[in-house]
Amino acid sequence: MEYQELVGTRRSIRFFDPKRQVEQDKIQKILEAMLRASCAVNAHWLRAVAVKRDDIPKDQLEKLKTPVQAVVIELAPVHIYLYADLGVVNRVQGARLKELFNAGAVGSSHGWSPKFVDEIVYPQILKPMTQSPHYPVMAAFDCGVAACQGLLMAFEQGLGACLTAFVAPIINEIIKPPQDWMPLYALNVGYSLESREAGGQRPRPPFEEQYFLGRYGNPFPRDPKVVEELKASKMIQAPAPLPSRREELRKLARQLNLPE
């Protein structure tokens, strides 16, 4: 699928075929997409643990359910639990920046050298960064960039997916992550039982309230011609709820024995 259509077609899918397993190569491709994301200081904070729902003992699966994601985690055959490895920066101490230098991605024309990393970037910027109260937010932002690539990859492969919160103390009993992994969200993956439209593109706040030109309060001018181009490329699709959605939800609920 072309990128613009992929962005436009993705929806948070909450009805999966609970019995249809996801091929391992598709999970690998989601993880490979995450690994290829851009990453601040090439640190790569994101850690992901793919867990098959059926490998989670029943009593723990029950304890993992909260009102905002119980049905999703019950139906999705694969949960990819996402964490930020907060220890990575002080473990690698700039080594991955030197890899960037050696790979020719950053160079002396921009002031980079192995010495610059060892004497300035790690001790004066990266190490203090890890002591800042904002450090977990910075790491989480970075992980979000990577997670989004994996999310889109799921749809590119014909799967459905939904990010959800997770109950870290319970899943940690199974995953047993290192102490310095900060829990983020779970990417729940499976074959969607929803139609491709899944009821239409979900509501968004007005563009002009979100994005600005030059300064806060000056809305970015939204060109209707660009909007039409994006409709043609299927990035902007018919808004939810499509008239067929109510019936689709009823059918899905009956099919899966869920309340209507």
**Nearer to ligand FMN (CB atom), residue 12 or residue 233:** 12
**Alpha carbons 18 and 30: distance in angstroms, whole number:** 19
Among 25, 38, 59, 68, binds ligand FMN (CB under 6 A): 68
Among 164, 182, 183, 187, binds ligand FMN (CB under 6 A): 164
Residue 240 and residue 199 in contact, taking contact as beta carbons nearer than 8 Å:
yes
Residue 34 binding ligand FMN, by CB under 6 A: no
Residue 163 binding ligand FMN, by CB under 6 A: yes
Helix (H, G, I), strand (E, B) or coil at 165: coil
**Alpha carbons 77 and 172: distance in angstroms, whole number:** 18
Residue 238 binding ligand FMN, by CB under 6 A: no
For the segment 71-130, give every residue that binds ligand FMN (CB under 6 A).
72
Angle value at C-alpha 37, between 185 and 31, nearest 5 degrees:
60
Residue 142 and residue 96 in contact, taking contact as beta carbons nearer than 8 Å:
no
**Nearer to ligand FMN (CB atom), residue 67 or residue 217:** 67
Q: Which stretch binds ligand FMN (CB under 6 A): 10-18, 51-59, 106-114, 128-136?
A: 10-18
Among 8, 9, 11, 64, binds ligand FMN (CB under 6 A): 11
Residue 165 binding ligand FMN, by CB under 6 A: yes
Region of 80 (left: φ > 0; alpha: ψ -120 to 50; beta: rest) is beta
Phi, psi of 115 (to 5 degrees): -65, -45
Binding mask 176-215 for ligand FMN (x = CB under 6 A): ---------x----------------x-------------
**Nearer to ligand FMN (CB atom), residue 34 or residue 117:** 34
- Please, what is the minimum distance in Å from the beta carbon of residue 66 to ligand FMN? 8
- Please, what is the minimum distance in Å from the beta carbon of residue 259 to ligand FMN? 16
**Alpha carbons 82 and 138: distance in angstroms, whole number:** 15
Q: What's the order of all strands across the beta sheet hosting 181-190?
A: 46-52, 78-85, 181-190, 160-164
Among 9, 42, 69, 157, binds ligand FMN (CB under 6 A): 69
Contacts of 173 (CB under 8 A, 6+ apart): 60
Report the interface residues with ligand FMN, using CB under 6 A: 11-12, 14, 68-69, 72, 162-165, 185, 202
